[in-house]
A and B are shown apart, each in its own frame.
Chain A
Amino acid sequence: MSHHQLDARRMLCPMPVIRTQNFVAKLPAGDTVDVLCTDPGALHDIPAWCRIHGHEIIGTQELDGELIISVRVGTPSG
């Protein structure tokens, strides 16, 4: 299991989701990714995308106006 960081700061939705989607596609199940964002819309969109695709949000935090959304990669299905 590896931990990764993805920089999606200064991007407006849906770009943070697209970056997350494309990044997660290359990772095995169980890996974790901290997605750094500044668009508050990502707080809604990335969890929604994770629910649809079977990934898990393991935490969100805000630091100095920047958001960190932590995702655990799920098992590919269908």
Chain B
Amino acid sequence: MLATQAMLEQGIHVEGINFYTGFCVEGHTHAIRKKDKAKPKRNNALWVAEQLGIKLHIIDVIDEYKDVVINPKHGYGSNMNPCLDCKCFMVRKAHEWIEEHNFDFIITGEVVGQRPMSQRRDTMPVIQRESGAEDRLLRPLCAKILPATLPEREGWVDREKLFDFNGRGRKPQIALAEKMGISDFAQPSGGCCFLTDAAYSGKLADLWSARGERRYELDDIMLLKVGRHLRPRPHFKIIVGREEGENRFLEGYRKQFTHLYTTSHPGPLVLLDGEANDDDLQLAAQLAARFSQGKMAETVRVELHEKGAAKRELDVTPLTNEEIPVEWYL
């Protein structure tokens, strides 16, 4: 936002690009979970573009992004976050976009030393090089402590009006925002990607381990954001809706999964991912019963819809807390 405003103040025409990878935190989870209904559902990229008065292009990179997540050349951060590869990928896509649409250069809001992987003095040149953007990549917020880029050398941008921010602190940015009259801003310290989340990364690692290969589809990564995930056996896991909004979201997947829910008592929708024999289905039904309002009852009736089979009913005893090993929870 600050980098864009700095360019706008120099009279430069700027348009925004927002890449949608499927791992973005905002939007989905708020839309799904009923308890988050009160939170504003604004898309921050759209909101920022509107505040700045620029166009925004949202680009679906879900399929292309898979290779970044699955085979990151520069490895992962503390979780499954391939930050440096991600930045190289996004700047490369931005570079392709500017060539296609006759724009002259790319700007980002990066600051030297701000992030531990992708915004270090030694990794920032890697992004320029591997993205192919080279010196058409300008970082206005820290440009003065980096070599001059093409737009600066050509005089398209006045280098003297750019900034020399560095390090993890945000005080200079906050002061600049105030000077620019910007009082509301989104994501001042990252945290917008599920791959930086330890619990989410654990579920993704489990998914790959259970499948015996590192691959995913959009539905897989969406489902990892929703519900309680338990893997009672290596060959199947269950996803249990935690509240009404999640149950409604999971309902959209009923045709793709064996699913079950309690009928004698109110309870969640449970999806079963994997191959399950009769014993496994019995166990899944007992777990569904455990997470229903009949968890203290002697018997709970569960309706089971196996993929490709007629529905049937099971009367089961709910598992107790003690009977659910903590290792089952993903």
Interface residues of A (CB under 8 A from B): 10, 12-15, 17-18, 21, 39-41, 43-45, 48-49, 51-53, 78
Complex Cα–Cα for A41 and B55 (A): 20
Complex Cα–Cα for A43 and B27 (A): 12
Q: Is B31 a contact partner of A49 (Cβ separation < 8 A)? A: no
Residue pairs across A and B with Cβ atoms less than 8 A apart, 23 shown, are A10-B252, A13-B28, A14-B18, A14-B43, A15-B60, A17-B43, A18-B20, A39-B31, A41-B27, A41-B41, A43-B41, A44-B40, A44-B41, A45-B41, A45-B42, A45-B43, A45-B46, A48-B46, A48-B50, A49-B58, A51-B50, A52-B54, A52-B56
Rounded to whole Å, the gap between the CB of B31 and the closest CB of chain A is 5
Known pairs A14-B20, A14-B43; A21 contacts B58 (CB<8 A): yes
Q: Is B20 a contact partner of A15 (Cβ separation < 8 A)? A: yes
Specify the chain B residue showing the minimal Cβ separation from A41: B41
- Say whether B153 faces chain A, with CB atoms less than 8 Å apart: no
Q: Is A14 a contact partner of B27 (Cβ separation < 8 A)? A: yes
Specify the chain A residue showing the minimal Cβ separation from B24: A14
Complex Cα–Cα for A2 and B252 (A): 32
Rounded to whole Å, the gap between the CB of A45 and the closest CB of chain B is 5
Rounded to whole Å, the gap between the CB of B295 and the closest CB of chain A is 29
- The interface residues of chain A lying within 8 Å CB-to-CB of B252 are 10
Rounded to whole Å, the gap between the CB of A71 and the closest CB of chain B is 15
Interface residues of B (CB under 8 A from A): 13, 18, 20, 24, 27-28, 30-32, 40-43, 45-47, 49-50, 54-60, 222, 252
Known pairs A48-B46, A52-B50; A13 contacts B57 (CB<8 A): no
Rounded to whole Å, the gap between the CB of B37 and the closest CB of chain A is 8
Rounded to whole Å, the gap between the CB of A69 and the closest CB of chain B is 14
Known pairs A13-B27, A40-B31, A45-B42; A18 contacts B49 (CB<8 A): no
- The interface residues of chain A lying within 8 Å CB-to-CB of B57 are 21
- What 6 new A-B contacts, CB under 8 Å, besides A10-B252, A15-B60, A44-B43? A13-B31, A14-B45, A18-B59, A41-B30, A41-B41, A52-B54
Q: Is B59 a contact partner of A78 (Cβ separation < 8 A)? A: no
- The interface residues of chain A lying within 8 Å CB-to-CB of B50 are 48, 51-52
Nearest 4 A-B pairs (CB), nearest first? Answer: A41-B41, A48-B46, A13-B27, A12-B28
Q: Is B41 a contact partner of A40 (Cβ separation < 8 A)? A: yes
- The interface residues of chain B lying within 8 Å CB-to-CB of A78 are 13, 55
- The interface residues of chain B lying within 8 Å CB-to-CB of A40 are 31, 41
Complex Cα–Cα for A15 and B21 (A): 11
Q: Is B46 a contact partner of A52 (Cβ separation < 8 A)? A: yes
Specify the chain A residue showing the minimal Cβ separation from B37: A40
Complex Cα–Cα for A15 and B58 (A): 9
Contact of A12 among B27, B56, B58 (CB under 8 A): B27
Q: Is A48 a contact partner of B47 (Cβ separation < 8 A)? A: yes
Known pairs A49-B56, A52-B56; A44 contacts B42 (CB<8 A): yes
Rounded to whole Å, the gap between the CB of B76 and the closest CB of chain A is 25
- The interface residues of chain B lying within 8 Å CB-to-CB of A45 are 27, 41-43, 46
